[in-house]
Amino acid sequence: MNRFYFLFLPAFLLFSSCQKQSYLFTSFREPATDGLHLAYSNDGYHWKDLGGGFLKPEVGGKLMRDPSIARGNDGTFHLVWTTNWKGDKGFGYASSKDLMHWSPQQFIPVMEHESEVVNVWAPELFYDDENDRFVIIWASTIPFKFPKGEEDERNNHRMYYVTTKDFQTFSKAALFLDPGFSVIDCVIAKRKKNDYVLVLKDNTRPQRNIKVAFSKDVLGPYQNVSEPFTGFLTEGPTVVKVKNEWLIYFDQYRDKTYGAMETSDFKTFTNISKEITVPKDHKHGTIIPIDSKTLKNMKAAQ
């Protein structure tokens, strides 16, 4: 999901630039069987619940975890999600013009060529405006493929990716990130041309926190992995730029709360967790800008 259209506005937002911009936050609720939940914000800091059941999972293991959303230049919303904890070799996909009426769901089997793959976790959408395509990244474990390190062979994740222009044909899955440790929950932020930041979770047992890395190309290599800027047992980051600041939201899953950091350079971070409000039980989602007309119609339908 590309949550950065406020920097590189597609046509549908350019034509409606006089409208007030709000933000949309995707989510799910445990046990992840009732589908897509949504929240909205007018300032990027305070979120109100729009409810759930917008799209109930029907493919793969019939779960919907980690829903990631992006909007194309034609105004279509695209959604991908985790369909199962283990066993599924792909992720779920659907599209919508209004977030209320959805296309038939598809299961995209991106790792079917890997007979030993354990899982496909937390697919994340990013719209690559330089090449007019979507980049989808996710975490998978393939036992004995990488040095064991600190993790069990069935928990030693690396990041993979595919690209697509139409969600009908996809590039062959390829390695996206191997930082030398188990990594999951990555999201891409574009600051400007040839300047990308990757927000990632170090999933090794002693860490389980969030870091950043940097690249001149959307597909990497991402290097110079930072020290952690969140505490122990944090995951599921998402990023949004509000005025001159980047906000990084994350799930503090031990405490069952949401936290947030504010940064202007991805080098120094200010904890603003006490300055945000997020709906109760909100879980691992992504943020995108949303136009006032679409939001108004969704609120009226509730």
- pLDDT tens-digit profile of 95-119? 999 999 999 999 999 999 999 999 9
Task: Specify the residue for token string 């590309």.
Answer: 2
Least Cα distance to 161 among 95, 215, 208 occurs for 215
Per-residue pLDDT of the chain (302 residues; tens, 9 = 90+): 444 433 444 544 443 444 578 999 999 999 999 999 999 999 999 999 999 999 999 999 999 999 999 999 999 999 999 999 999 999 999 999 999 999 999 999 999 999 999 999 999 999 999 999 999 999 999 999 999 889 999 999 999 999 999 999 999 999 999 999 999 999 999 999 999 999 999 999 999 999 999 999 999 999 999 999 999 999 999 999 999 999 999 999 999 999 999 999 999 999 999 999 999 999 999 999 999 999 999 998 87
- pLDDT tens-digit profile of 163-203? 999 999 999 999 999 999 999 999 999 999 999 999 999 99
The mean predicted confidence, pLDDT, of the chain is 93
Of 2.40.50.140, 3.40.1390.10, 2.115.10.20, 1.20.120.80, the CATH number of 11-301 is 2.115.10.20
Distance (Å, rounded) from C-alpha 283 to C-alpha 184?
Answer: 16
Q: Where are the domains of the chain?
A: 11-301
Question: What's the pTM value of the predicted model, to 2 decimals?
Answer: 0.93
Cis peptide before 31 (omega within 30 of 0): yes
Q: Residue 20: CA atoms inside 13 Å, Cβ hemisphere, count?
A: 8
Least Cα distance to 120 among 132, 138, 137, 106 occurs for 138
Distance set, CA 85 to CA 62, 158, 173, 277 (Å): 10, 16, 20, 29
- Helix (H, G, I), strand (E, B), or coil: what is residue 250? strand
Q: Rounded to 10 degrees, what is the CA torsion of 24, 28, 34, 37? A: -20
